[in-house]
Structure 1
Amino acid sequence: MLEITGDLIIAAEHVGSTSIEGLSAKPVIDIDLVMESYDVLPEIILRLQKYGYEHQGNLGIEGREAFKSQQDDGFMKYHLYVCPKDGKGYLEHIAFRDYLRTSLSAREEYQTVKQQLAGQYRYDIDAYCEGKTAFVHSILQKAARK
């Protein structure tokens, strides 16, 4: 992806559970490609489409554009997002990741929440994700006060 969009992005961030040492996670990496502003998004979309990525829009999350690879590119499973540097989705990804990286108690609590939900919603990923929402919001509030 960096070979495709490198001159249009200012950073690439590993976010999500796999970016937090010691936290159980599905074997799926979340990657945020950070752009200066939405001005460059049309060019990013065109370039990624040429390499088999489908632009999926923001999937209901402001400040985050999702892309899905339409082919097996030899990498492990991943979610690719393109975000403006001041976009809500990106800022929340970073705040959540960084808070859990520095708070053992929050990381352990999140681990417990995830394990309970995984057992309860083993075959319902939407319910699993929805079940994490209250915890995620509580961490974002704590991170904002920090």
Structure 2
Amino acid sequence: MLGLPKGQVYLVPWTEQWEIEFNEEVSKIRCEINGGIVAIHHIGSTAVKGLSAKPIIDIAIELKSFDAGIHCVPGLERLGYVYRGTDVLPDRHYFNKGEPRTHQIHMFQTGSEYLDKQLTLRDYLRENEDARNEYQELKQKLTMEHSTNKLAYADSKTVFINKIIWEANQGK
């Protein structure tokens, strides 16, 4: 059920198993790195009931201090994660697990604009059926266009995602 092979982009229908997988992984993470964690969030499409997704569990770990993230590396490595550094996105420690990839951790300091955007998008899609359906259709179209190019697939969603975040923030 979980795992996206390198070089492939495809979607699978949402399943309650993703919530179970997320909760099991949170328990393991807390056993290894509980200190400094403010919260652990299920993010990405697997966190939105009814939305098809790439079969990878995205986890956001919110830390009191960004610098504390480097101290989490040994514990997460014991769980099978590979530390990929902070180069991909500013103010984020990034880890992935599995081949095919099954889990990703995005580690942010509380107040990070990137974390806030992830949570805003997730919550809006959970609450707004029309936006969720529109996103579903876009993702299905883009997987056909970019079935072997993860970056092009992700980049092609940016305009829609930014529109959703803007709409969500108008309601605040």
TM-score range, shorter chain: 0.7 to 0.9
Please give the TM-score of this superposition, normalised by the length of structure 2: 0.75
Local SS of the residue matching 2:35: helix
Please list every run of 5 or more consecutive structure 1 residues that lacks an aligned counterpart in the other structure: none
Structure with more relative contact order (C-alpha pairs < 8 Å, separation 6 or more): 2
Is the counterpart of residue 143 in structure 1 residue 168 in structure 2? yes
Aligned-partner Cα distance in 2 for 1:110–1:134? 11
Q: Distance in 2 between matches of 1:115 and 1:70?
A: 24
Rate the CA distance shift 1:117–1:18 in 2: closer, same or farther, 3 A: same
Instruction: Give per-residue Cα distances to partners, 1:79-123, cap 9 Å, x unaligned.
Output: 111111111221111010001111111101100110110111111
| CA–CA separation in structure 2 for the residues paired with 1:9 and 1:108 | 33
Distance 2:133 2:87 in 1: 28
Work out whether 1:107 is the aligned partner of 2:132: yes
Q: Pick closer, same or farther for the CA change 1:129–1:43 going to 2, 3 Å.
A: same
Contact 1:18–1:29 (Cα < 8 Å) also in 2: yes
| Amino acid paired to 1:64 | R
Correspondence 1:13 to 2:41: yes
Among candidates 50, 59, 74, match of residue 31 of structure 1: 59
Give the SS at the match of 2:55.
Answer: coil
Structure 2 CA distance for partners of 1:81 and 1:95, relative to 1, 3 Å: same
Q: Distance in 2 between matches of 1:112 and 1:129?
A: 14
What stretches of structure 1 move > 3 A for 4+ residues in a row? 49-53, 69-72
**Could you tell me how far 1:52 is from its partner in structure 2?**
4.5
CA-atom RMSD in angstroms:
2.1
CA distance in 2, matches of 1:122, 1:2: 35
Structure 2 vs 1, CA of residues 39 and 127 (structure 1 numbering), >3 Å: closer, same or farther?
closer
- Whether the 8 Å contact between 1:64 and 1:88 is mirrored in structure 2 is no
**Sequence identity (%):** 30
Whole-Å separation in 2 of the counterparts to 1:63 and 1:139: 22
Which TM-score applies when normalising by structure 1?
A: 0.87
Q: Deviations over 1:12-47 (max 9, x none)?
A: 110000100111112111001111122422322343
**Aligned length in residues:** 143
Q: Quick check: 1:121–1:128 contact (8 Å CA) kept in 2?
A: yes
